[in-house]
Amino acid sequence: MKQNNWPLKQALEEFRNLKQMPLHMPGHKQGRSLQAEWLHILGQAAIFDYTEIPATDDLAQPIGPIKKSQELLAQLYGADQSFYLINGTSGGIMASMLAHLKAGDEVLLSRNSHRSISQGVILSGATPVYISPEFDEKHLLPLPLSTQAIEAKLQEHQNIRLCVLTSPCYYGLIGDLIEQVELLHKYDIPVLIDEAHGAHLNFSKNLGIGGLEAGADLVAQSPHKILSSFTQSSWLHIQGPRVDKERLKASLRMMQSTSASYILLLSLEAAMAQMYTDGPEKLNTMLDNVKRLRQNLVNNSFSLLNLNELNSNLVKAHDISKVYINTLEFGLKGYEAAELLRAKGIEPELSDYAGVLLMFTLADDRAFIEQVETKLLQFASEQKKKPRSQKTEPLSWADLQPEIILNPREAWFAGKEKVSFDQTENRIAGETITIYPPGVPIVLPGELISKEILTYLKQIKAQGGNIVCDDPTLNTLTICTTN
């Protein structure tokens, strides 16, 4: 598919060449007011940091170059319509939920969904219907939902108005999306896919199926993760008759800034342009090099997350650009291994109890990947020389499924108080407590805090995990004071 005209880029360049006297925002006026010490960092970007004027269009109601650019994006992905997002995939997910849910509706989702989905529940006032995922015992990771589990919930609950599925997960696992979307559509339930980690799936035959191909109604993606757009920039695709398009547009206007960043918008167009041109070739070359890396690591006694070892009834594909190394095989918790890798110049995407996750993207050529391999082999060699005898019981998030006492929105607006951590057992959470990354809430507002949850949080904290909550020291938790 050939395309050489990039509407937003062209519009901004043409406007710049007019040399208009800017008597409008932004205040730095294409970098003129920036201090010299910042110009070498921000100067080039500042030149194209425009605001909503006739020549540059308006993301909130595009009629010009932004509209044309989004139409090219929809054409690239085969969507009915696509939208640029400058509040991340999180903003697109929350807007999609607001567009299709109201107070009292039920929304079907996995309990290990990203915190943006639970925030969408709070904003909409919907009642969550959770499905607890099965876990892989070796790597201690949640697996994709089963179709049978989804169907069981559909039969139990008659008021489900939306289903939110995550695919691929942070670790690159993909379930039976086609079967699940078909099932949900039989109940006339629209399907929203959190595909933050899957903007690249459409461009390789070796990664598994994406949400649009599976027939999902709404698919939110983060091209800044594997493709080349800037952090915080995302896009949303829709297709089919179940999407309330006008309410979705209104919800997007509500969830996004009225002062859209043209730097982020340009980066989205640039990422799209790359996938129209040399992006797919770069992607598949990277995947070939990562495949070689993975094989070399396995040959040197690394334990990697591997599709062939997972439950084939639940996991249908694995994005191999996500290389998860089980470091328990070296006698190291993932948090410990991450620190040792940082000392060698490797910065992992994620560490958890059992291992570390390395992400490879379009930016990574063969030479870079070979350098990573060299450092990983050095790391492994050093660990073999340092046998460790300590053994601790693995943490199991799967055992923590908390009881819902209050609707999340009701709990959000309830009275609150700070309570000493050790005094919160059997109290109702008034905040979201998340391990980040991957951003999965351990506790949500309205859920009962159990002894097991408190023990789990203390263990994660002691092992170096990053806990996002009101008080990251865990000296206190925020508790609801009203039932």
397-433 pLDDT, tens digit per residue, is: 666 788 999 999 999 999 999 999 999 999 999 999 9
Q: What is the mean pLDDT of residues 172-183?
A: 98
Give the right CATH number for 279-384 from 3.90.470.10, 3.90.1150.10, 1.10.4080.10, 3.40.50.300: 3.90.1150.10
- Banded model confidence at residue 459, pLDDT cuts 50, 70, 90: confident
- If one looks up domain 7-276 in CATH, what number appears? 3.40.640.10
Identify the CATH class of 397-480. alpha beta
In the predicted model, what is the mean pLDDT of residues 378-403?
Answer: 69
Which residues of the chain are in CATH 3.90.100.10 domains? 397-480
Q: Is the pLDDT of residue 181 over 50?
A: yes
Q: pLDDT at position 353, please?
A: 87
All CATH 3.40.640.10 domain ranges of the chain, comma separated, are: 7-276
Ranges for all domains in the chain classified under CATH 3.90.1150.10: 279-384
Place of tokens 């008759």: 241
Q: Grade residue 2 by pLDDT with cuts at 50, 70 and 90.
A: low
| Percent share of the chain, pLDDT over 90 | 86
At 137 the pLDDT is: 85
